[in-house]
Structure 1
Amino acid sequence: MGHYVSNSLEFEKYRIYIVKEREIALSTYSSIHNSLQLLESGHVLGCYNYISTLFDCSFVFKDYDDYNTVTFTNISKLANIYDKFGFVIDKFKHRSSGRYYGMLSNWNLNRNNYKFNEISNLDIARISKLTDENVQSVIPISYTNHKDSKNYLTDEFIQKEYPFLHPTFESVITVLALNLSVCNTHNLEIYLEKIGALAQTICMNNSSNHVVNRPVKQVIPKNWEKIDKFKRNKNLLPFYAVITTVV
């Protein structure tokens, strides 16, 4: 484990510092290293957003070159954390991306009682306020392989894009798309952190026993552009996704 040294940084009470280091191997992820760093930073932001929403408190997020800061502005409300401590621990314990070998499947489970929780407009607004202040810059679109769904993906498409996901099990794939009509393409960093935060919020909202929530960087625009919503709107660039499925 490394350490961070700064002669100019003054640490303050109730402020959390997220230091940006090269813990993601550059040699392994040479082409996507920088975006992964930003997405991971966004995942942390999403965790704090989840906690602050749960306890009805607020915080300020600031982005610097070497680190980010999270400062709770009404810390007194966190005094009630012990009332929901078990619930919070349970949510984080079950926040799982699942195994990375073989298929994500369990034939013995009853999936009829599971209900997917879409990300709310309130969550989008809160995360937008912390990042780029534009609720339209990143658009979450949820797809399923349920034929009655308004956003339907064929089993063939799912198996081709995500061969580890069993196409006959009802799953939800939430695509996080950049809205190029409002994004400042000269400063994409803030949008990638926002995408990471939205993805983690989706994961936490759906965290439960036997439920996998896997963020995936494998979103190939040229393949998703064949899907109706992206075919109609060329300003939407599919960039990241979260797969939610019962296993």
Structure 2
Amino acid sequence: MIYNIADFLGEIASNNEILTITQTLESGLDKYKFLRIENGSKHIDNSYAELLKLNDFIRIETPGPYKLHKGYPSPRSLYPIEMFICVNENQFVLKDNYKDQYKYYSNISIKAEQGDILLEFNNKYPEHYNHIKKTLLILECGHFLYNINKVGLMLGYKYEVITIDKYRIHLKSQKVETDINKTKKITEFSRRSYLRNSGHYRHPLTPLNNNTKVVLNNYEKDFHDIERLFKNNDISEKIQIQTYLNRGNGEFLEVGSKQNNYINYRNLNMIYPYINFKGVNTFSFLLIKNRTFTTENATKYLLSLGYIAQSICMYHADYHVFCRPIKSFSFFEVEKLLKIDKDNYTPFYFLINAPK
């Protein structure tokens, strides 16, 4: 799942409807040889079982066409990611996403050590996603990385992404001190994962109560975690987060800006017409520097966008609100509306936070 300049230029061309360029994905799942199935987790390390549960389906939502949900979002609930943990040399365990069953595999093509995590994928995107399917997969992996990293630290594991190739992401595991409050923290993380919600498709939003208090996230810790994950200290320099707060009646103002340039919800409705922005609490655009894509493999920067997006989703996880990540919007229209420096930045990802 290597993302490079060709993918970026192709995505811009497709976004501007100049031409449609198909992104390519090549799954490595056929390299795994099935060994056995074990029911129940009594034969597996408790920490591994807890980590593998992060890829379970945890909620069924009705009404709506996309009913099954995990602790992180996936376009149309496709969920193509498979999570393997190395149990010994060349042997890996995969949990069934629906039940307490564990499947063991061997893969002699991978050099991994006990505790390492491999994120593989099924290429099951429908045709209408051909122009952005690699982008969607990488962003989704970034969302999932957030969950793995947070729970891993609670369990006493620190991870480093050591390999990103066309087949997979390889996380190196290192044992560290277990959080003394791990049980309480994991329970709370599981609760928020369950509450995380992208909202019903084309769901009419409740108008914002002007007395609603919105507390905004701080991303300093997220960038610190990301730069440790990738052993790279320039990621915070390549990504910019612009958050806008509804000041009442659908008039939005950028948080922290000295300019009083209000954006009316009607203009936002034209960018993403599936909801009424008059009822949105906040929205955030994740911008990325254009020169980021001159590197041979820019995947870690897209993973970082997904990681930050998941932080936003989890921060707003609640019974009464939803947080929806959005990839399908016009770069050009957003650049024009938000007066983005398009020569240096591209609005790459978009999240809205609103009452249910």
TM-score range, shorter chain: 0.7 to 0.9
Q: 1:225 to 1:148 in 2, by over 3 A?
A: closer
Q: Which residue among 220, 223, 240 is the counterpart of 1:124?
A: 223
Q: 1:119 to 1:3 in 2, by over 3 A?
A: farther
Give the aligned residue type for 1:149. L
The residue that corresponds to 2:109 in the other structure is 8
Give 1 or 2: higher strand fraction.
2
SS at match of 1:149: strand
The residue that corresponds to 2:133 in the other structure is 33
Q: Per-residue displacement from partner, 1:190-219 (whole Å, max 9, x unpaired)?
A: 222221111111111221112211110023
> Residue 219 of structure 1 contacts residue 239 of structure 1 at CA under 8 Å; is this kept in 2?
no
Q: Which residue among 133, 138, 153 is the counterpart of 2:263?
A: 153
Q: Per-residue displacement from partner, 1:24-73 (whole Å, max 9, x unpaired)?
A: 33x24111111111111111112224435778963212333222133442
SS at match of 2:130: coil
Give the aligned residue type for 1:144. L
Rounded Cα–Cα distance in structure 1 between residues aligned with 2:331 and 2:203: 25
SS at match of 1:173: strand
SS at match of 2:269: helix
SS at match of 1:194: helix
Offset, 1:9: 2.1
The residue that corresponds to 1:196 in the other structure is 306
Tell me the TM-score normalized by structure 2: 0.60
Rounded Cα–Cα distance in structure 1 between residues aligned with 2:326 and 2:110: 34
Q: 1:161 to 1:16 in 2, by over 3 A?
A: same
The residue that corresponds to 1:236 in the other structure is 345
> Residue 199 of structure 1 contacts residue 215 of structure 1 at CA under 8 Å; is this kept in 2?
yes
SS at match of 2:123: coil
Within 5 Å, give how 1:69-80 maps onto structure 2: 69-78=170-179, 80=181
The residue that corresponds to 2:41 in the other structure is none
> Residue 145 of structure 1 contacts residue 167 of structure 1 at CA under 8 Å; is this kept in 2?
no
Rounded Cα–Cα distance in structure 2 between residues aligned with 1:221 and 1:198: 20
Asked which structure has the greater CA Rg, the reply is 2
> Residue 203 of structure 2 contacts residue 275 of structure 2 at CA under 8 Å; is this kept in 1?
no
Give the aligned residue type for 1:179. K
Offset, 1:187: 2.9
SS at match of 2:237: coil
Give the aligned residue type for 2:160. V
**Deviating more after overlay: 69-78 vs 131-140:** 69-78
SS at match of 1:168: helix
Rounded Cα–Cα distance in structure 1 between residues aligned with 2:345 and 2:138: 20
Mapped pair 1:24 → 2:133: no
> Residue 154 of structure 2 contacts residue 182 of structure 2 at CA under 8 Å; is this kept in 1?
no
Give the aligned residue type for 1:211. V
Rounded Cα–Cα distance in structure 1 between residues aligned with 2:280 and 2:156: 33
Rounded Cα–Cα distance in structure 2 between residues aligned with 1:188 and 1:130: 15
The residue that corresponds to 1:210 in the other structure is 320
RMSD: 2.8
Higher relative contact order (Cα pairs below 8 Å, separated by 6+ residues): 1
Offset, 1:117: 2.7
Rounded Cα–Cα distance in structure 2 between residues aligned with 1:121 and 1:221: 26
Q: 1:213 to 1:228 in 2, by over 3 A?
A: closer
Tell me the TM-score normalized by structure 1: 0.83
Offset, 1:184: 3.1
Runs of 4+ in structure 1 deviating by more than 6 angstroms, as ranges, are: 53-57
Within 5 Å, give how 1:90-105 maps onto structure 2: 90-103=191-204, 105=205
Mapped pair 1:162 → 2:272: yes
SS at match of 1:8: coil
**Deviating more after overlay: 128-137 vs 207-216:** 128-137
Rounded Cα–Cα distance in structure 1 between residues aligned with 2:313 and 2:241: 13
Q: Per-residue displacement from partner, 1:206-236 (whole Å, max 9, x unpaired)?
A: 2111221111002321111113440x56311
> Residue 160 of structure 2 contacts residue 228 of structure 2 at CA under 8 Å; is this kept in 1?
no
> Residue 245 of structure 2 contacts residue 252 of structure 2 at CA under 8 Å; is this kept in 1?
no
The residue that corresponds to 1:63 in the other structure is 163
SS at match of 2:277: coil
Aligned-pair identity in percent equals 22
Segments of 5+ residues of structure 1 without an aligned counterpart are none
Segments of 5+ residues of structure 2 without an aligned counterpart are 1-28, 33-106, 256-261
Give the aligned residue type for 2:322. V
Give the aligned residue type for 1:242. L
SS at match of 1:160: helix
**Deviating more after overlay: 31-40 vs 69-78:** 69-78
